Amino acid sequence: MNIAQQLVNGIIIGHAYALVAIGWTLLLGAARLVNFGHGQIYMVSAFVAWWIMSMTGAPYVLAVVVAIAAGAVIGAIMQRLFLRLTLSQDLVNLMIATLGFGQILEGAAGLTFGPKPETLTSPLQAVTFDFGPVWFTAQDALAVGATILVFLGLHVVLNRTRFGAAVRMVAEDPPLVALYGIPISRVYISIFAFEGAAVALAATLIAPRTPILTSMGFEQVVMTFVVVVLGGIGSVGGSYVAGLLLGLFTAIFSALISPAYTTAAVFALLIAFMVLRPGKLAAGGNFAR
């Protein structure tokens, strides 16, 4: 049992969790939208990247860029569809609608890409770094680095720019935003496109670790729920910390106790948290902090 390696694994997985969750965190904080189609956007983006590479022989980097664009477009389509529900803050219907949207993506991806498992190959996956008892791949390092950059970037944009202020305004009081002359649907479309693009980035960086399947959507992002909730709804910094802690928890739990029950353990943790501190779940409280 190599504790140091487990810690490294935990850090890598933790950053992956955080990166997958970031778009959703923003979406939940700013638009109060629980996106159950999040996992399917992840899946579609991974497949788009794979398809680009296997059809055109394009390099990995280009596939990443195309997949991010595809994710942003999917996000924008979601916004177009859900604008009315978002503006009226019909949260119950919105949540169900995102479930349906996820089904559409999954069905469409199945029809397009077929039922076979595929592999998204990144050249960085083959490059490994050995430091005595621990090792990791260049792909892992890239994922961790990208996560840190995305979180820092988002933090700066939200807190230091006028656009970020507009996002925080939308989160606080959507009708009032109009009186500041800001067209709210444009702010929403940016938020949705960011959600799509961010999860697409996550998919292209993390999916090379495992085979990809069109049915993987839900499982791949199951931890996102936990990260988003434990981090404090809509809190960017909180998501990062929650992702990291959760990564460490799962790595150590699966090494010491049982890999099969890791998800159940994490969700039991989530349930305990929500039951003990339901007040912490009010959205907008520490948004963007």
Residues in contact with another protein by CB under 8 A are 28, 32, 34, 81-82, 84-85, 90-93, 95-97, 99-111, 162, 165-166, 168-169, 171-173, 175-184, 214, 218, 222, 225-226, 229, 260-261, 263-264, 267-268, 270-271, 274-275, 278, 281, 284, 287
DSSP 215: T
245's tokens: 């802690």
Q: What SS3 string covers 117-154?
A: CECCCCHHHHCEEEECCEEEEHHHHHHHHHHHHHHHHH
CB contact burial 132-167 (16+ within 10 A = b; e otherwise): eeeebbebbebbbebbeebbeebbebbeeeeebbbb
For the packed helices 38-56 and 184-206, what is the interaxial angle rounded to 10 degrees?
60
Q: Which is nearer to another protein, 143 or 226 (CB)?
A: 226
Q: How far is the CB of 21 from another protein (least distance, A)?
A: 13
Q: Which is nearer to another protein, 8 or 158 (CB)?
A: 158
Q: How far is the CB of 224 from another protein (least distance, A)?
A: 11
Comparing C-alpha atoms, which of 193, 162, 145, 166 is closest to residue 45? 193
Q: Which is nearer to another protein, 169 or 245 (CB)?
A: 169
Comparing C-alpha atoms, which of 42, 51, 52, 47 is closest to residue 19? 42
Q: Which is nearer to another protein, 106 or 140 (CB)?
A: 106
Q: Which is nearer to another protein, 127 or 165 (CB)?
A: 165
